[in-house]
Each structure stands twice: as structure tokens, then as C-alpha cells.
Structure 1
Amino acid sequence: MPSVHTGRMTEGDWDALLREYDDHLALRRHLSANTVRAYISDLRQMSESLDQSVRDVTLQVLRGWLAGLLEDGAASSTIQRRVAAARGFFAWACEQQFIGEDPAVRLRSPKRSRRLPVVPGQKNVEEALQSTQARADEGPLAVRDLAILEVLYGGGIRVAELCSLDLADVDDDRGLLRVVGKGDKQRSVPLGAPARRALDAWRAVRPAVASADSPNAVFLGARGGRIDARVARRVVHEATRAGGAEVGPHGLRHAMATHLLEGGADLRSVQEILGHASVATTQLYTHVSAERLRAAFRQAHPRA
């Protein structure tokens, strides 16, 4: 067992430890690149705020850091995320014996208020799809944009999952997508007929966008490389704005889950399609559906 690292750590120790922790998150815990980037960014901001050696950090120091975040008006969700990042980092540093004891083991964050997600209605989504379909004769990228929308809404997948899709991940025989989600977990996602048609149409014109150096990605950018998440987000925002309820890719994921439950799908099936580790996460969409029912009742019932 290695001995605890001795000697006063310097500012540079933060950089060295965060580089090692970055590797740990990516290679050992198999977190996605976006998740690792978010954790490391939060930890760098914390280290700059603390302005002291890693070994000098105490629970009182961390509580002072949290108090500063609250005074600056940080949202409870932001504080919750940063506390989770700090607890994970210091637990790892203690386990690796870079520090003698874990100062964050008793660190608690304020209770997070869980707001219901903004979910466009079925009519809004349909209008967004129709407005994009009306542009399909503008060229291959317009055909691609419709396929992006149909796959995001039809499959309920995350934008990072969409961007990482390879051609071999499309199972045409069974109408499924093989998706690699959070924690490097794989799942199969069914696609309906409209999404399959849009995907077929895009793959038919994909060679007009691809180059000799193009990867085997399903979705390509204008220059033939794998599509960037920012491009996919822009496609969704522009389309849903035209549909009257602007959201990003995650909003389409929310919409798909809510519309499935409203249509009678069972919670476990929706959980499996979305790739949620816990059914508690999926249950959020039952609250959305219930709130819509209450709103319709209040609006239409004479004795509401």
C-alpha cells in the first residue's frame, strides 16, 4: 500500500491531480467525454476559489466555498453538481493516499428543487417536423436535418448519442438503433416508420456530403466529418422555434417520454428506451402528464 504523499502540495498539485482524476473518470469509470469535462471544469473552478493546497482543504473551507456560491446567486442545481464533483474528487484523492483524510465526506448541498421539464406538445413537434420536411428539397443537409429531428424525437436519444452513431449501429432488419449511453452502457432503441424513412432518405444522399476521409458516422457535418453536437442543437432549436415551442435536443427527449406515457406506454418500457439507470428518473414524466391533465381539467371543466 503506498504511503500518504508528504510535503506541502503546491498550486501545481491541483493540475497534476486533476489530470490523474480525468484519466480515472474516463478510463476507470467510463464516463462520457462531456461528463468528464463538466466534472473537471467544476473542480478547476473550485480549486481557483479555494486558492490553497489540496492537503490544506478542510470541511470548514469547503463549507465556506459553498456559502460563497450561494451568495453569488448560484442555482441549487449548480451547487448540487459541484458538491458531487468535490465529494467524488476528494474521496478518490484519499483512496489514492494523495491526502490523509477526506474533507468532503460530510459535505452536504442544499436540497434541489426539482422543476418539471419544459415539454413541447405533440402539435408543436409535428409542426417542427413539417417545417423541416418542407425544406427537404434544399439539398442533402436539409434531408439530414429532418433525419436528426426524427431520430431524436422518435428514439428519445441524447444528442451525444446521436452524434456518436455509426452506420453499423443501424439495424434495418429490426428497426433498431444500437446506442452507447452514459457509463458506456449499450441499449437498443426502436424507431418508428417516420424516423426510419427519414434515416433512409438521409443515407441515400449522404455520399453527396461524405469525402474520402469521412468516418463511418451516420450523421455528417457540412465538411464531411462527424457531426458536432452544436450543429445538431442548432438544427433542433431552429426547427422547434418554427413549431412554436423552442427547445433543444433534450427537450425532444422529454417530449418523446411524455408523449409515450400519455399514449399508454408503461414506465419500465420508457425507462429502458431512455436508458435511465433508475425508474425514479423516468417517473418525472408521469408528473408532467398529470400536470397536463390538471391544466386541461381547469381550462375545460365547468366546475374546475
Structure 2
Amino acid sequence: MSTSSTVAEVVTGYADHLRSRDVSEHTARAYVADVSDFLDHAVHSTKLRRGTEGGHPSTTSGARIDLASVELDDLRSWLITLDDAGAAKSTVARKIAAVRSFFAYGVSNLGLSNNPAARLRTPKKDSRLPTVLKPQQAADLISAAEGPRTGDTDASDSAAGGATTGDTTGPTTGDTAQGDTAQGDPLDAAKRIRDAAILEMLYATAIRVSELTGLDHSDIDDRASMITVLGKGDKERRVPFGAPARRALDDWLATRDLFAGPHSGDALFLGVRGGRIGARQVRELVHRYGSDDPSAPDIGPHGLRHSAATHMLDRGADLRQIQELLGHSTMSSTQIYTQVSMQRLQDTYRRAHPRA
């Protein structure tokens, strides 16, 4: 492929390159979207437009672009539009990483003479600390799934269940708002058992939501009370869990057959239609059960991960061990929890010490 091609050809070639490099599906999808965003910006600039005769191309994907003509100023103008749109620093940092990767690919595969994105400066991330629950609030969130509540429509399963991979066939009994809310409905009771197990496992193991939804039954080591997790960069790690999570998991596995269908496979957690539960469903159920406590901050699955790490540090866990538990590749990612723990100590001191 030459440096001058249609946007669609360039994006397809880059996506194939990422797949060949075993980049995670999540990262590849984000990078391709970021590069597509930049190329859309580029082809609509006066300098770089290579459209149909006499003007503007009918679609961005069909427009031609000469990558050799891209300069640092073009990339900077794109970043300015992102800043004007209010993009977060973390989003801008990821987009910069994406175009750096893309133009590095262009140098090695498309004959570009240089990488104009190499000189872009990555913005410093905001120093905002993660939001965490107090230990009792975490316990209350988990216990909220254990008791029936009249009028609880499980929107995450009825609306999102069919959107997850493989979750389009299988048992449908009770897969309506009326069936879900009927008192004594065994499927509704089973969903609560599943939700409680999900919440217990998220908090007990501090794993990412993508890691939880990717768990198979075979990933559980019953004897050691450990799970094998496939984390970022397809790196495996073993994570322990405690007795409450063990009991919740046993309860779920005893009722899993109510959800299982021909497409369930070995997936540990299932949606009501029999497929592997999706990340959106898990996020929605965490928010739903958390809303029972108005004094607690509204968090998602990652908030439970932050909370678990902070609570372990508060109780004397070694930072290096927390890094291993979380699957962080560098200590710098884990050190943020020392700041959270110190801030909590300062808050307690100001409230409790007579001379604070």
C-alpha cells in the first residue's frame, strides 16, 4: 500500500496490523476509532483533502489521503479541536498514543519517512483520586442483592442481555419485566443469587469488569479458592478470593442451569438468555444495587476494584502484593492507592482530633 490511499484502505490495513500484533481487542478498537477520527479531521482540512473532482468527497472512508503530507501542525490542530470539545486529558493521551502507533506503522509498512506524531507531548493526567466506598458501604452494596425488592425491573438483562455475544438464544422464561418482578419467581431469585456472586467476586478479587465477564467455570480452582484471570495484554494471573465469595459462587453454580442454554459454553456468569453476561449488564447491576444507599458514592465495577485495593492497603497489605493482585504492569499505577489511603487518614484526623 502506498502513502496515498483511501481512508478505508488505511484504516483496514492498520486494524489488520494491530490484530497481527496480538493487541487486546479493547485497545485495538479504541486505537482504530482514534485514528479514524484523526483521518476524518485530516481529509476535511483544506491542505490534506484528496476528494472527488472539484471538491468534497461524498464520504470520508472513500476519500484519498496522502499520509506523507501530514505534518505536526495537522495533528496539533486536531488536538485543539478535541480540547475545544472538552475531551478529558486521559482521552487525549490515549488518542496521542494511537496516532503515534499508527504513524509508526506507516513508517515500517507504508514507506513514510518519519512519524510526525512522535513529537506530540502527552498531557499530564489529572491528579483526581479514585472514588471509593467505605468497608461498610461495600458490604451493604453486596448484601443489597440478597433480598427481594418489589418493582425491581432488571433492565440490564431485559434490554442489554440480547446485545452480548452469544446471549441471543436460550431460555426465555421470565425474561420480561413482569416475570422478573413476580414475587417467588425462581428466575428472579436466581438472578439475585447471580448478582450477589458477581458483586462478591468483583470486591473479593478486585478484578476488572472485562476480566470478570471473561471468566469460565474452568478458571476456578476450588481447592485453593483462586481464579485464573486473563488481564491486559493477554497476561494470566491467579487471584485469591475469600469465604463469602466462595459461598456466593457455590450458590450461583447451583442455580446456573436455570440460565444455561446451547450457547452458554463454559462461561461462568450468564445473562437470562443463556449467553455470557456482558460488561454493560454488570455495570448496570452495580449501579442499581448501589443506589440503595444514598450516603454512598455512585460507583461502577471499577469503583469496587478501587475500594478493595484501598481497604487492603488500609489493613496493612504490602503495595507490591496489591500490584500483583490488580495485575498492574508498573508500580506507578498502584501507588495512587497510597494517596487515597492518606487522604482518608487526613479526613479522619480532622474529624476526630480535638486539635485538628
Q: If the length of structure 1 is used for normalisation, what is the TM-score?
A: 0.93
Secondary structure in 2 matching 1:187: strand
| Counterpart selection for 2:345 from 289, 293, 301 | 293
**Could you tell me how far 1:62 is from its partner in structure 2?**
0.8
Aligned partner of 1:134: which letter? Answer: G
Match of 1:120 in 2: 133
| Counterpart selection for 1:90 from 66, 79, 103 | 103
Match of 1:139 in 2: 189
| Counterpart selection for 1:76 from 84, 89, 102 | 89
Taking the aligned partners of 1:191 and 1:205, their CA distance within structure 2 comes to 20
Match of 1:23 in 2: 16
Identity %: 44
Secondary structure in 2 matching 1:197: helix
Match of 1:282 in 2: 334
Show CA shifts across 1:112-170 (max 9, x none): 22210111111111111111112397421111000100001100001111111111100
Does 1:208 find its partner at 2:258? yes
Asked if structure 1 preserves the Cα contact closer than 8 Å seen for 2:131 and 2:297, the reply is no
Cα distance 1:95–1:237, how it changes in 2: closer, same or farther (>3 A)? Answer: same
Taking the aligned partners of 2:77 and 2:298, their CA distance within structure 1 comes to 39
| Counterpart selection for 1:45 from 10, 26, 37 | 37
Asked if structure 2 preserves the Cα contact closer than 8 Å seen for 1:32 and 1:184, the reply is yes
Show CA shifts across 1:33-81 (max 9, x none): 2221111111111111122322221112111211222223222222111
Q: Which runs of 5+ in 1 are unaligned?
A: none
**Could you tell me how far 1:105 is from its partner in structure 2?**
1.3
Q: Which runs of 4+ in 1 moved over 4 A?
A: none
Show CA shifts across 1:239-265 (max 9, x none): 122233321110000001001100110
Does 1:166 find its partner at 2:216? yes
Asked if structure 2 preserves the Cα contact closer than 8 Å seen for 1:238 and 1:246, the reply is no
Match of 2:307 in 1: 255
Taking the aligned partners of 2:355 and 2:234, their CA distance within structure 1 comes to 51
Asked if structure 2 preserves the Cα contact closer than 8 Å seen for 1:177 and 1:190, the reply is yes
Aligned partner of 2:18: which letter? Answer: L
Secondary structure in 2 matching 1:119: coil
Secondary structure in 1 matching 2:238: strand
- Structure of greater Rg: 2
Taking the aligned partners of 1:17 and 1:185, their CA distance within structure 2 comes to 29
Show CA shifts across 1:190-221 (max 9, x none): 00111111111100000111013322100001
Aligned partner of 2:119: which letter? Answer: R
Q: Which runs of 5+ in 2 are unaligned?
A: 49-64, 150-183
Report the RMSD for the aligned CA atoms in angstroms: 1.6
Taking the aligned partners of 1:229 and 1:123, their CA distance within structure 2 comes to 25
Asked if structure 1 preserves the Cα contact closer than 8 Å seen for 2:231 and 2:237, the reply is yes
Aligned residue pairs, count: 296
Indicate the structure with greater helix content. 1
Asked if structure 2 preserves the Cα contact closer than 8 Å seen for 1:31 and 1:182, the reply is no
Taking the aligned partners of 1:122 and 1:26, their CA distance within structure 2 comes to 41
